[in-house]
Amino acid sequence: MRSKTITTSFGPCVVQIGEGALACLGKVVAGASSIVIVTDDVVAPLHGSKVLDALDNVNLTMHEWTVPAGEASKSLWQAESFYDFLASKGCDRSTMIVALGGGVVGDLAGFVAGTWMRGVRFVNCPTTLLAMVDASIGGKTGLNHAGRKNAVGVFHHPEAVLVDVTTLTTLDDRAFNAGMAESIKHGVIADEAFLSWQMDHAQEIKGRDPRVLEELVARNIEIKAAHVEQDERDQSGVRAKLNFGHTIGHAIEVVCDYALPHGECIGLGMLAAGRVAIGRGLVDETVRDRLSAALSSFSLPCRFTFQGDISAMMSALRGDKKSVGGVVRFVLPTKIGEVTVGHDVGDAEIESAIAELME
C-alpha cells in the first residue's frame, strides 16, 4: 500500500493506494454523525459490500444512495433528488458523503457534498481507472447542463481518496482502456519516461497486475497532484495543462451524445491537438506518432465515426468552459513531456485536425 498527502486549501487530502485501501474507511469517517454512501447500480452489487465490511465496526447511521450508471446521472435533476434524500434522512453539517464508483459518481457526490449545507465532509473511493488516475484528485466537481459538459460545479476536495486497485478486476476492457487515455495524457504533458514506462508495461497493466497498477496509479496521482498544488483554482495556467486533449475531446463527447467513453474522446482530442501543434511547427510528426502508438497499445481509437455536420462540433467547442469570448483556447505539446497553454486556434486549423480523425 502506498500513501500520499496532497496539500489543498481545504486541508490535507490523504490518498491510500493499493490492495485493501478501502479498509481504511473505518478510520477516515471518525467524527461524522452519519455517512451516506453514494454509488451507481453497476458498482453497488460488485463492490458495495467492501465498503460495508470496512464500516462493520463503526457505530454510525449509514445510508445508501444509488444512481443509474452513466453520464446522465451528472445532472441537476439527480443532484436535487439527492438533496431530497439527504433531507428525508435528516442529514446535517456533520454528515459525511462517501463516493464509491467512477468519475460520474465522484463528480455528483462531490458536487452535492460541496453544496449541501454549504459543504460537508467528503471521501472518494474511485473504482474506475479513470477516476483513480484523474477524476478523484483535485477537488473539481461537475454536472452537465443543457449540452454543456461540467457546466455547473464547485471546488470541493475530498479529505481522503481510497484507491483499491483490486476493484478494477471487474471493470470491462473498454472502460479500463479509457482510463489509460488520461494516464497517457499525464505522460505526454509532464513525464516522457512515464509514457515509455506505460508502453513497456502494457501487458502487465492490461492484465491488471495489482502491483503494476499500484505503481501506475501512484505516478498518475503524483503528476495530477503536482499541477493541482501549484494552481488549485485553475488560474495560473499550470492546472490548465491537464486539459490537454479536452478541448476537442469534450466537443466529441457532446456531439456523440456521450456514446463514447470520456477517455476515448480525450485520446482523439489529444491527437487533434497534436495535429494543430504540428501545423504550427511546435512539434514534428514523431510526437503524434508516439501518441497514437500509446493509444493503440491500449486499444484506444485514433479515428471516430460522426454522421453530423462539423459545425455542430464547432459550436460545442465554443460552448466549452475553456473558450473565452467564443475564442477556443488550446493546450498544445512542445515535446513529449511538455505542453504550453492558452493557444488561440482558428476554425480552419480545428476543422482540419478534426477531419483527420473522422472515418
Residues that bind ligand NAD (CB under 6 A): 40, 42-43, 46-47, 69-71, 74, 101-105, 107, 127-128, 130-131, 134-135, 138, 140-142, 150, 167-168, 170-171, 175, 178, 261-262
Question: How many Å apart are CA 105 and CA 137, to the nearest integer?
Answer: 14
Q: Which of the 8 DSSP states describes residue 240? A: G
User: Which of 187, 339, 230 shows the shortest CA–CA distance to 276?
Assistant: 339
C-beta of 101 vs 333, nearer to ligand NAD: 101
* Least CB distance to ligand NAD at residue 131 (A): 4
Please identify the residue of the shown chain whose CB is closest to the bound ligand NAD.
Answer: 103
| Residue (143 or 287) nearer to ligand NAD, CB | 143
Distance of alpha carbon 53 from alpha carbon 48, whole angstroms? 9
CA 333 to chain centre: 20
What is the nearest approach in angstroms of ligand NAD to the Cβ of residue 40? 5
Tell me the HSE value of 306 on the side-chain side, using a 13 A CA sphere.
Answer: 24
Question: Which of 224/343 has CB closer to ligand NAD?
Answer: 224
Contact between 304 and 268 under an 8 Å Cβ cutoff? The reply is yes
> In this complex, which beta carbon is closest to ligand NAD, that of residue 166 or of residue 292?
166
Question: Which triple of cell numbers denotes residue 294?
Answer: 500509446
The distance of closest approach from Cβ of residue 244 to ligand NAD in the complex, given in angstroms and rounded to an integer, is 12
Shortest Cβ 205–ligand NAD spacing (Å): 16
Long-range contacts for 326-329 (Cβ within 8 Å, ≥24 apart)? 328/247, 329/247
CB of 176 to ligand NAD, least distance (A): 9
Nearest to ligand NAD of 114, 287 (CB atom): 114
